[in-house]
Structure 1
Amino acid sequence: MSTKENPFHRPAIVLGGTLSTLRSTVRGQVWLPGDPGFDHVRRPWNLAVEQPAAAVVEAADAEDVVALVEYARRAGLGISTQPNGHGATGRTGGTILLRTRRLDSIEIDPVARRARIGTGVPSGRLQSAAAAHGLTGLPGSSPVVSVTGVALGGGLSWFGRAHGWVADSVTAFDIVDAGGHARRVDAETDPDLFWALRGGGGDFAVVTSLEVALHPAPHLYGGRVLWSGEHTAEVAEAYRRLTATAPDELTAWLELLHFPGSAPMVAIDLTHLGKAAEARELLAPLDLLPEPISDSRRMLPVSELGTITAEPTDPGAGLSRGELLTEFDEVTVKTLLAEPIAPLMSVQIRHLGGAFARPSDSPHGPLTEPYAVYLFGIPADPATAAAVAARQQALADTLPTSGRKPLTFLNPGETAADAFAPASLARLRKIKRRTDPANTFRSNFPVSAGITPPNS
């Protein structure tokens, strides 16, 4: 990363033998350049992103994190924290890459409807633990993404229409700050930092655990209905009508699919927080559509949400682009379907609204755009990668986008300025300067990118 991208960057002061002392600093595992497996452990989830690192540390516990922050501060190194590398942008040069997968404790308080979870806990594990008590977190489409990572980026959930941003349900963070101090942050102890952590990214501290509110989920109905691509126009119109009047308990995503070597298909993925009879009544318009290829709708345990979209659970290469849509009317549908999506593999339309649009004391604030679009392709070779990017750009240029997007939707070529309104970004930068003036913590999307460093 250049100093133009990050004005607070400073060269790492790594004297002979300095990095080797990492092994005696932490109890967890350490990999240095040249060690067997180093190139494997430093890679991100998206294998299309090259991720450099001065070293990789897998912390054994929160005490390891304290020791690592003190070490990095003395050595003049930055820390980039990743449980497993989702959302990586490659902005990790000269940093210690911190893996937090082993911080995986889960404590459920079913009476208070609270969970205290380690920063390495993936969404699927929290869902399984909460389901035993008839409760749910706010899971996204993938069960392997860390809850903490999603919350730090705001977080879009299957149940966000009913309960808002994932970050809105966070009630406290356990962190290690830039001074190497372990402390608890909530709305009372440090309201500014608490605000920043609830969606502003990983620029402010290392989170070792967090406390989240859980929500009742006695009944959940969901699944995927899949049709041949020849029915795309009919399915898209039915989706548009369905979502125009959907209650907050119903979430539906439209999926245009074109997998390599197969014909185009179209799907509607959905969840309903309620009984099957209620869901079937709401979804009756789908029964008037042509016969689907498959229909997996059923009563679901909240622990099985990941089966709906069946996203990959192993790393792979991909190119993505996300946008927020100001509307999804007949003109938008016609524009979306004007040409085949190829070489994209999928185009996903997510219905938002509901609680997303209500007041939120977070950097994103209320999400007033009613829909989001997520464009994905696989860069099999340079020519395909260029074609995927061009198709994404063409769609973004023709659809009614708002010009902002959630932090978790950003791709490596974008910055925090693409996610936050100017006032929120200015406040985040002020908090960054106060809490981490030496820029020890390096997030995927640094809030300080593109500004003049203090005292320069």
Structure 2
Amino acid sequence: MTLNPAPSLSPQTPDALRDAVRGRVWLPGDPDFDGVRRPWNLAVEQPVTAVVEAADEADVAALVRYAAAAEVGISTQPNGHGATGRTEGTILLRTGQLDRLEIDPAARRAKIGAGVSSGALQSAGAKHGLTGLPGSSPVVSVTGVALGGGLSWFGRAHGWVADSVVAFDIVDAGGRPRRVTASTDPELFWAMRGGGGDFAIVTGLELALHNAPSLFGGRMLWAGADAGAVAEAYLAITNEAPVELTAWLELLHFPGADPMIAIDTTFLGDETAARALVAELDRLPTPLSDTRGPMSVAELGGITAEPTDPGAGQSRGELLQELGSDTIASLLDEPIFPLMAVQVRHLEGAFSQPSDSPHGPLTEPYALYLFGLPTDPATAEAITAKQQFFADRLPVSGRKPVTFLNPAETLADALSPTSIERLRRIKADRDPAGVFRSNFGVQL
């Protein structure tokens, strides 16, 4: 059986869908339908035939059985991050109500539902001196990040977010709840640790946590006129950084403000050791602000202060093969406008070590993220042109992390042809009817 490319709900289907699940159901014409179907990135249009908010794992299983019988696909999103708009003819499944969160301090493990946010996991772990592998935003779902591999503040010490996954709780294409581990189903376990959500619906994760008895971090911000000195200091620090230290360079140009430059840091250790490692920063011109200090792992979202509400955005990610003085010069000799931010993340460390995942090790030492606000079509076009400008002049590898993909890209922009072919075989075996439609599907 293959699903219709763009099926529509028959007159009998709405009642059948509402009868099939206990969670909330929205259909076209219902109040709030247009609101609940929107993704996090409001620049992406997301057409769907219905929205279902699952009450629990049993609800997810019932929905999968319903969708398979109706020959309708399912697109799953806890809160809409990473959306591409490739959802036409599908039921949009929201898993935000799957919010179980259990910490086992002795085993350093967490069992979480698919709707648990990174910030919620961090808050729970912090009470026991433990941490997950959080990125810059506290509002993204841990599950969504793990399915894309996942970059973290602490990835230099502990690798991909997906490397910490011990088990997936899933509903398969037959509507059966299952637990997947490296021993029970090695092929599916491999695929889901960075190959996206095209193979099953994840209802929960078991994750290894990591010790974090102390943490130092924050942002130093300077005027744009100091960019050359700040960037060279960043280069010197990252050339010698131990894996416990992570530093990100940020070129910033907010609407109505002058250009600025920032260095964001975290250090898994005490303040004295952290300040010694970044002493180069103390020799720079006086910063506009300095928020660095001892902090909880639950406070990491405050470093970059990314928006916690949906909004329009236009991004592009790349991986840099090197970052030397010539690359720094290429970054700085052209204003980033109309981009709002150009971020360079130091990788290496555990990121470069072997990983049995679709992406494998990150051999590139730095990641690049280019972001702008598409306020109108002309601005959107200018943002795309400036992103391409930087990609053309910087030593990018041509690959990127899955979680950095934008709606115009596919998994082939992130993963090797060998991994893509293996993922397609797994998709054909586990979901031959194509019930599951992830943000970045292996057939695209």
TM-score range (shorter-chain normalised) is over 0.9
Select the residue among 384, 387, 391 that pairs with 1:392. Answer: 387
Q: Structure 2 matches for 1:215-226, cutoff 5 A?
A: 215-226=210-221
- Rounded Cα–Cα distance in structure 1 between residues aligned with 2:3 and 2:409: 18
Shift of 1:17: 1.8
Shift of 1:13: 6.2
Aligned CA distance change for structure 1 residues 160 and 8 (closer, same or farther; 3 Å): farther
Partner of 1:171: 166
Deviations 1:273-318 (A, max 9, x none): 0000000100100000000000000000000000000000000001
Partner of 2:37: 42
Shift of 1:448: 1.3
TM-score normalised by the chain length of structure 1: 0.96
Shift of 1:239: 0.4
Select the residue among 397, 401, 412 that pairs with 1:402. Answer: 397
Partner of 1:350: 345
Deviations 1:432-453 (A, max 9, x none): 000000000001111112xxxx
Q: Structure 2 matches for 1:17-56, cutoff 5 A?
A: 17-56=12-51
- Rounded Cα–Cα distance in structure 2 between residues aligned with 1:397 and 1:34: 46
Moved more, 11-20 or 306-315: 11-20
Select the residue among 151, 154, 159 that pairs with 1:156. Answer: 151
Partner of 1:95: 90
Q: Structure 2 matches for 1:414-429, cutoff 5 A?
A: 414-429=409-424
Partner of 1:207: 202
SS in 1 for 2:123: helix
Shift of 1:187: 0.5
Shift of 1:9: 6.0
- Rounded Cα–Cα distance in structure 2 between residues aligned with 1:222 and 1:288: 18
Given that 1:353 and 1:371 are in contact with CA atoms closer than 8 Å, whether structure 2 keeps it comes out as yes
Partner of 2:314: 319
- Rounded Cα–Cα distance in structure 2 between residues aligned with 1:180 and 1:94: 20
- Rounded Cα–Cα distance in structure 2 between residues aligned with 1:261 and 1:186: 51
Deviations 1:154-213 (A, max 9, x none): 000000000000000000000000000001000111000000010100100000000000
Matching residue's letter, 1:42: R
Given that 1:106 and 1:117 are in contact with CA atoms closer than 8 Å, whether structure 2 keeps it comes out as yes
Select the residue among 405, 415, 439 that pairs with 2:434. Answer: 439
Partner of 1:337: 332
Given that 2:146 and 2:193 are in contact with CA atoms closer than 8 Å, whether structure 1 keeps it comes out as yes
- Rounded Cα–Cα distance in structure 2 between residues aligned with 1:179 and 1:145: 28
Matching residue's letter, 2:426: I
Given that 1:26 and 1:64 are in contact with CA atoms closer than 8 Å, whether structure 2 keeps it comes out as yes
Given that 2:253 and 2:341 are in contact with CA atoms closer than 8 Å, whether structure 1 keeps it comes out as yes
- Rounded Cα–Cα distance in structure 2 between residues aligned with 1:410 and 1:16: 37
Q: Are residues 1:309 and 2:313 paired? A: no
SS in 1 for 2:304: coil
Matching residue's letter, 1:270: T
Matching residue's letter, 1:427: R
SS in 2 for 1:222: strand
Matching residue's letter, 2:347: L
Partner of 1:257: 252
Partner of 1:106: 101
- Rounded Cα–Cα distance in structure 1 between residues aligned with 2:384 and 2:10: 41
- Rounded Cα–Cα distance in structure 1 between residues aligned with 2:10 and 2:373: 41
SS in 2 for 1:40: helix
Given that 1:13 and 1:75 are in contact with CA atoms closer than 8 Å, whether structure 2 keeps it comes out as no
Shift of 1:24: 1.3
Shift of 1:22: 1.3
- Rounded Cα–Cα distance in structure 2 between residues aligned with 1:280 and 1:174: 42
Matching residue's letter, 2:178: R
Which sections of structure 2, spanning at least 5 residues, go unmatched? none
- Rounded Cα–Cα distance in structure 2 between residues aligned with 1:322 and 1:14: 37
- Rounded Cα–Cα distance in structure 2 between residues aligned with 1:232 and 1:47: 32
Q: Are residues 1:378 and 2:373 paired? A: yes
TM-score normalised by the chain length of structure 2: 0.99
- Rounded Cα–Cα distance in structure 2 between residues aligned with 1:19 and 1:236: 57
- Rounded Cα–Cα distance in structure 1 between residues aligned with 2:325 and 2:14: 59
Q: Structure 2 matches for 1:64-79, cutoff 5 A?
A: 64-79=59-74
Shift of 1:338: 1.4
- Rounded Cα–Cα distance in structure 2 between residues aligned with 1:261 and 1:419: 35
Shift of 1:11: 3.8
- Rounded Cα–Cα distance in structure 1 between residues aligned with 2:213 and 2:60: 38
- Rounded Cα–Cα distance in structure 2 between residues aligned with 1:381 and 1:193: 42
- Rounded Cα–Cα distance in structure 2 between residues aligned with 1:136 and 1:248: 16
- Rounded Cα–Cα distance in structure 1 between residues aligned with 2:383 and 2:6: 35
Q: Are residues 1:118 and 2:113 paired? A: yes
- Rounded Cα–Cα distance in structure 2 between residues aligned with 1:67 and 1:405: 36
- Rounded Cα–Cα distance in structure 1 between residues aligned with 2:96 and 2:19: 20
Given that 1:358 and 1:366 are in contact with CA atoms closer than 8 Å, whether structure 2 keeps it comes out as yes
Partner of 1:297: 292
SS in 1 for 2:383: helix
Q: Structure 2 matches for 1:127-206, cutoff 5 A?
A: 127-206=122-201
Given that 2:249 and 2:261 are in contact with CA atoms closer than 8 Å, whether structure 1 keeps it comes out as yes
Shift of 1:8: 7.3
- Rounded Cα–Cα distance in structure 2 between residues aligned with 1:325 and 1:169: 25
Count of matched residue positions in the alignment of Structure 1 and Structure 2:
443
SS in 2 for 1:183: strand
Shift of 1:12: 2.2
Partner of 1:453: none
Given that 2:3 and 2:71 are in contact with CA atoms closer than 8 Å, whether structure 1 keeps it comes out as no
Q: Are residues 1:81 and 2:82 paired? A: no
Matching residue's letter, 1:218: P
Shift of 1:16: 2.1
Q: Are residues 1:369 and 2:364 paired? A: yes
Shift of 1:25: 1.1
Deviations 1:33-54 (A, max 9, x none): 0000000000000000000000
- Rounded Cα–Cα distance in structure 2 between residues aligned with 1:316 and 1:12: 29
